[in-house]
Amino acid sequence: MRLPCAGRPLWLTGHSNLSRLKNSERRRQGAFRKRFSPLACGKTPFAFFPRGVCRTVRRLSSPYRTRSAQVLDLKVLQKNPEVVAAALAKRHSPLSMGTFEELDNKRRELLAQVEALKAERNRASGEVARLKRAGENADAFIASLSDLSARISALDSATDAVKTDLMNWMLTVPNIPDASVPDGVDENDNVELHRWGTPRAFDFPVKNHWDLSNANGGLDFERGAKLAGSRFTVSWGWAARLERALVNFYLDFHREQGRTEILPPLMVNRKTMQGTGQLPKFEEDLFKIPDWEYYLIPTAEVPVTNLHADEILDEEELPKRYCAQTPCFRSEAGSAGKDTRGYIRQHQFTKVEMVYLTRPDESFTYLEEMRRSAETLLERLELPYRTITLCAGDMGFSACKTYDVEVWLPGQQTYREISSCSNCIDFQARRANIRFRPKGGKPEFVHTLNGSGLPTGRSLVALMENYQQRDGSIVVPKALVPYMGGQEVIEPGK
């Protein structure tokens, strides 16, 4: 969806449910948490695990793993701020590196003060011990220890607040665009790569899909609004069957291409949403279930990408090539007044998604494969399309490079997006802590990719408008006839 590299996961927090571990393992883990907890070792949210800890984390089952988003590489932000500043400028982002530098400098200053006070406290403790051994009065040093501890506690609180502000800022920083991404502000600056197919020349007035639906009774916008509100639709008869046929057609294609089909949960927690970049920046675009702290997924990209969160994969396991068909739920908060009629922009729609986890040196090759799969589906349905490269200003938050495939809609006399294929490089992998271990090497972050393959709603719209006939009937594409039980034409009112 639209929406550089060494690192380690963050500290391991404690878990109360240790009953599944043997006694020796419980003792070992207890000692581990005590030694390496944030308070015990003074780790910042950007600190690395001590050597060998990653192997310990890998052995633990999922209830004992934890993660915290690493977002962009901190070393890049600190040592090469001009790289991030240039990326923000290319994306026309309002964020300023000045904010990061101010917070990071404040964090460093506070940490230096804390370390200085701790050193002073250590010296005072040593003096107390020396005086007591000598049988002398140590009351003055004991009083100073109490004062030092209070000052250290206050500075620790201030440091934690600055760390939180810094991490919250970093979570809003978008991915760095690839060098091949064209400059530009919005969709008007996107670059067309190629077109396929010639739009059909009609010898009768062309209808929009909502007018065709009124004649054929397939899409019921009024009852959808009655049941749930605007941007909801009820599909009847042939329309429901045709969407189901599209799902099966798409999934069969992906299986032929060697992708593993996944049926994930439709609700996920906050960490999962944060892993793929929806949170915290785009919370208003999501449907949330407050009492449970669950979110309805806006795309299968979210749960499928996070399947391997907090895992270290073997290099031989890559690439992971998945596909998933799910309902998707979006509030369309920023789309007021856009596509208010018809089936183009809905709060709920069905989509088949492709998700890849790859080695870093292979991700752009697999981006081309993913794009080509989306195009091939449209070619098999004989629907004209064009493919464009999104400019930096129009690209999604998590993407490093994105192709949009747009299908021709004769009722609107324009191309509309039907697939968006993105390479997120290590951006999501850092947030979700998804790594692999190269042969003989240290763990590295995988690269993640996602792409639509395809949404059934917009596919249905394209089929209705491109295959409409003078009498209002709709021809079923040859590729879908077997999935429609041999039906070749959808007759008006039937």
The token duo for 441 is 């090497």
Q: What is the DSSP letter of 468?
A: B
Which of the residues 398, 420, 422, 459 is marked catalytic? Answer: 420
The token duo for 196 is 């396929």
Q: How far is CA 332 from CA 86, 228, 329, in A?
A: 30, 15, 9
Could you give the 3-state DSSP secondary structure of residue 193?
strand
End-to-end CA distance of the chain: 36
Which of the residues 67, 107, 330, 371 is marked catalytic? Answer: 330
Told to judge if 420 belongs to the known catalytic residues of this protein, a careful annotator would answer yes
φ, ψ of residue 229 in degrees (nearest 5)? 130, -175
Cβ atoms of residues 390 and 190 within 8 Å? yes
Which ranges of 219-269 does DSSP label H, i.e. alpha helix? 221-227, 237-256
Chain-centre distance of CA 202, in angstroms?
A: 41
Angstrom distance (rounded) from CA 382 to CA 363: 29
Question: At which residue do the structure tokens 């440091």 appear?
Answer: 159
Which of the residues 231, 321, 371, 458 is marked catalytic? Answer: 458
Told to judge if 417 belongs to the known catalytic residues of this protein, a careful annotator would answer yes
Which of the residues 33, 108, 200, 345 is marked catalytic? Answer: 345
Q: What is the CA radius of gyration of the chain?
A: 28
83: number of CA atoms within 13 Å, CB side?
A: 15
Q: Which residues of 294-309 are buried (b: 16+ CB within 10 A; e: fewer)?
A: bbbbbbbbbbbbbbbb
Cβ atoms of residues 400 and 178 within 8 Å? yes
Catalytic annotation, residues: 330, 345, 417, 420, 458
